[in-house]
Amino acid sequence: MARKFFVGGNFKMNGSISSITEIVDNLNKAQLDSNVETVIAPPAVYLLLVREKSKKEIGVAAQNVFDKPNGAFTGEISVQHLKDSGIDWAILGHSERRTILGESDEVVASKTKYATENGVSVIWCCGESLEQREAGQTLDVIASQLAALKAKISDWSKIVIAYEPIWAIGTGKVATTEQAQEVHASIRQWLAKNVSQSVADETRILYGGSVSEKNCKELSKQPDIDGFLVGGASLKPAFVDIINCKL
């Protein structure tokens, strides 16, 4: 079965009611490729706004979710909150949360387990720093992140993997098409060897790292790149061009 192309837009800690409404209106009016699954992730305070204003074909994701049921966890958002609000996706393990907020591989895996077991699909992020890449450790780092995830979960059907080289996020630097394809292929090989061939064949692996309307077409042609997790460009009208890059 062919893997459905997937484009996620991570708004990060950006936007206002006005600007996000404009983004959603633009997506609603656009002729989006029906063969692409589109999911956007606004800041938490705008999740309901975006869900209510977006056409049903557009998925909405939280940028984080906790690994416990409702309770005394000040500042956190629960899976139940998301489901009650019609939010079906969450981004977990983004490098900004791993590096700035100190989330370990195990914490990310625990959150992913709880979300997927309770009805929320996950865009699970992995990637290496510039130092790790220059030291030739890229594949080892990602294998370690994947192993932590495998230790906690058995059902991969609700997980989309996003490879994000940390050195290419928001820097304007982009992994070359060959570099991106090499890592994506190695992730798929790891899944085949350590999980199953069917999970390797069916799991979508996205590229994220300064994706723009200028580089998306070439990246999208690679056999193991199944879509994108887009940062800054998702706040711009050109996000539509990225969603439609296969047309």
Structure tokens at 83: 């489901």
> Is 164 designated active site?
yes
Tell me the sheet residues that pair with 168. none
Q: Which of 128, 164, 184, 213 is catalytic?
A: 164
Q: Which of 37, 94, 103, 184 is catalytic?
A: 94
Using alpha carbons, select from 6, 133, 111, 26 the residue that is nearest to residue 63. 111
Tell me the sheet residues that pair with 72. none
CA angle 40–96–11, rounded 5-degree value? 25
DSSP 131: H
Q: Which helix (H) or strand (E) holds 5?
A: strand 5-10
DSSP 232: G
SS (H, E, C) 89-127: EEEECCHHHHHCCCCCHHHHHHHHHHHHHCCCEEEEEEC
> Is 182 designated active site?
no
Spell 32-49 as b/e; 16+ CB within 10 A means b: bbeebbbbbbbbbebbee
Using alpha carbons, select from 136, 232, 123, 227 the residue that is nearest to residue 179. 136
Structure tokens at 190: 């790891």
Residues labelled as active-site residues: 94, 164
